[in-house]
Amino acid sequence: MALVTVYVRGPISGTITGRNKYCTFPYASDVCNGSGSNHGTYMSSSNPVDIGGSGNINLRVNYPNVLSIVTYVSLSCCSSSYEDNYRRMVTVELYGKSNGACYMGSVRFGHVASPAVTNGTLYNLSSGTKLIGTVPSGNPGNCYTGAHSHMERSGGSVVAPCCGATVSSSTNIYKFTWDNGIACPT
């Protein structure tokens, strides 16, 4: 048995502003999952995490435990009254082997401007970083109230720090585990 652990790390540097629920300021150290209103999820995923910050959104994983990904781009975040940059969601399926073999789970990035990946495309990784897009600027309303990266997961578990914590490219957000000594997960 060879247990493999995959970590999806902070896509941008910034501050945790949502973790299952929206965080309320001032951040209370005893409220890890936020004390504000419930945070919506999309496409039956779970454990939403928001990181306030700007710049490039990168998938960051502990390569070589993830050797390939498949990306899906949709306009499923926010309502149709918002511009595409606020509505765009990029789903990244994680695979333990090249060419999309050994599915481990997926992570979603919401509010993606200038996508650097395309819909339905397989990428074999050569490092632990893959550019997804950029954080949109602006504050158009309830669905997007300022620069941040929105994340969700399917499979795995959340390991992100609590509300108000500072995160970087080395901060673990989600964790996926599987045994590569048996048949690949489906």
CB 18 within 8 A of CB 38: no
CB 17 within 8 A of CB 161: no
Q: CATH number of the domain at 3-179, please?
A: 2.70.70
The whole model's pTM is what? 0.91
Give 45-100 pLDDT, tens digit per residue: 678 899 999 999 999 999 999 999 999 999 988 888 888 888 899 999 999 999 99
> If you search the block for the tokens 């048949």, which residue do you land on?
183
